[in-house]
């Protein structure tokens, strides 16, 4: 028999509340083969908001020919205007042109995306790490002048497919540089899913020691080696309260073939519900949304929780 919710057994050592930064509509769909119609994306985002997610990354204002899956940002964003201020809709912005496009549509939260390694900076942005930081500097400055919230994504914080393990001091250097540019928060990405819990806690401690506070840090884990929830738990123990996840486990990473995907939001919510940690998310509604989208993508969700909850005898 499948149960709809875990038994909640709270722990006093963990944060009482976690904000889930839902990335399915952007990071997820960007890395799916199928191109989803704009109306389906709009309905997906509305359903995520209805399920209780309050931060739903919506799309990306990179060059449309770079990411054809998200080339409809101009059409999509206005369809989300009825969601109201309680649902934050961050969008990815690579440069000044992207910022212009996003702000013209009224975006109030943006994200820039840097890499902790030279190889991925080259593959993803065709720039060195420092060149990409220089590209983001005026974007972040202008956004902040307009009181737009800025998230900095930092990819390859634990391992890189070309370079192997990434030295912690190298990650800390780029993280600090992003904070110095004026980012409000950082999302530490385990882009190929190789992190383990002790590594996570050591990186978080080193960042704290170098002046980056825990409340400015979110974590973005991939489940390639089955470590995403263990790593999330380690981050919670450290005091992190912002966790990225993708509904139904959508997406992966096109530059790291082994990356089988983002931590599924349902798997995360199951664990957080069991720990008595408040997220505001209705697991049943969220699962129904992922099942609905999987039907449109033509493949089942890789999330264990979605499979368990939607299993029919
Ligand atoms: Mg991801």
Q: What pLDDT is attached to residue 256? A: 54
pLDDT at residue 244 in the model = 98
Q: Are 309 and 284 in contact (CB under 8 A)?
A: yes
Inside any domain, residue 239: yes
pLDDT the model gives residue 259:
47
Report if residue 7 sits inside a domain: no
H-assigned helices in 53-163 = 73-76, 96-104, 118-125, 129-145
Instruction: Report the separation in Å between the CA atom of 157 and the middle of ligand 1, taken as the mean of its atom positions.
Output: 12
Is-catalytic flag, 157? no
Determine the 3-state secondary structure of 278 from DSSP.
strand
Q: In this predicted structure, what is the pLDDT of residue 1?
A: 44
d(CA 27, ligand 1 centre) in Å: 6
pLDDT digits (tens, 9 = 90+) for 232-268: 999 999 999 999 999 999 985 555 554 468 999 999 9
* Spacing, Cα 261 to ligand 1 middle (Å): 7
Q: Which of 49, 195, 253, 309 is catalytic?
A: 253
Longest dimension (CA), the chain: 56
Q: For residue 156, give its domain range.
A: 19-310
Here the tokens at position 34 are 């199928």
pTM of structure: 0.96
Residue of 289, 293, 295, 288 lying closest to 309 (CA atoms): 288
| 212 located within any domain | yes
User: What pLDDT is recorded for position 261?
Assistant: 86
Does residue 13 sit within a domain? no
Residue 253 lies in a domain: yes
Number of domains forming the structure of the chain: 1
Distance (angstroms) between ligand 1 centre and the Cα of 252 equals 6
Residue 9, domain member (yes or no): no
Residue position matching structure tokens 């499948």: 2
4 assigned to some structural domain: no
253 burial via Cβ count (<10 Å: 0-12, 13-18, 19+): buried
List the CATH number of the domain containing 107: 3.20.20.70
Average pLDDT per block of 10 residues along the chain, 313 residues long: 82 96 96 91 98 98 91 97 95 96 97 97 94 97 98 97 96 98 98 96 98 98 95 98 97 57 96 98 97 92 93 69
The answer as to whether 289 is a domain residue is: yes
- Determine the distance separating the centroid of ligand 1 and the alpha carbon of 260, expressed in angstroms: 10
């Amino acid at each position: 028999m499948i149960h709809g919710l875990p038994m909640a057994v709270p722990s006093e050592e963990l944060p009482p509340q976690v904000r889930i930064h839902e990335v399915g509509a952007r990071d997820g769909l960007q890395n799916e083969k199928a191109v989803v119609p704009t109306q389906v994306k709009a309905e997906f985002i509305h359903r995520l908001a209805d399920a209780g997610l309050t931060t739903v990354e919506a799309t990306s204002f990179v060059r449309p020919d770079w990411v054809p899956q998200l080339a409809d940002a101009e059409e999509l964003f206005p369809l989300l205007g009825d969601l109201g201020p309680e649902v934050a809709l961050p969008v990815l912005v690579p440069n000044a042109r992207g910022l212009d496009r996003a702000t013209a549509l009224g975006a109030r939260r943006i994200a820039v995306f840097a890499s902790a390694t030279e190889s991925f900076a080259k593959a993803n942005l065709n720039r060195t790490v420092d060149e990409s930081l220089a590209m983001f500097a005026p974007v972040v400055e202008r956004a902040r002048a307009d009181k737009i919230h800025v998230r900095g994504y930092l990819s390859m914080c634990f391992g890189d497919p070309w370079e192997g393990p990434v030295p912690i001091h190298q990650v800390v250097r780029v993280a600090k540089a992003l904070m110095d540019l004026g980012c409000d928060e950082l999302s530490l990405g385990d882009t190929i899913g190789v992190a383990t819990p002790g590594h996570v806690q050591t990186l978080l401690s080193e960042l704290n020691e170098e002046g980056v506070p825990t409340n400015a840090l979110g974590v973005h884990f991939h489940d390639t080696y089955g470590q995403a929830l263990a790593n999330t738990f380690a981050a919670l123990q450290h005091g992190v309260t912002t966790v990225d996840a993708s509904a139904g486990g959508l997406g992966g990473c096109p530059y790291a073939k082994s990356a089988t995907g983002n931590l599924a939001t349902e798997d995360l919510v199951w664990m957080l519900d069991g720990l008595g940690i408040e997220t505001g998310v209705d697991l049943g509604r969220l699962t129904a949304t992922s099942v609905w989208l999987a039907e449109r993508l033509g493949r089942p969700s890789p999330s264990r929780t979605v499979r368990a909850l939607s299993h029919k005898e």
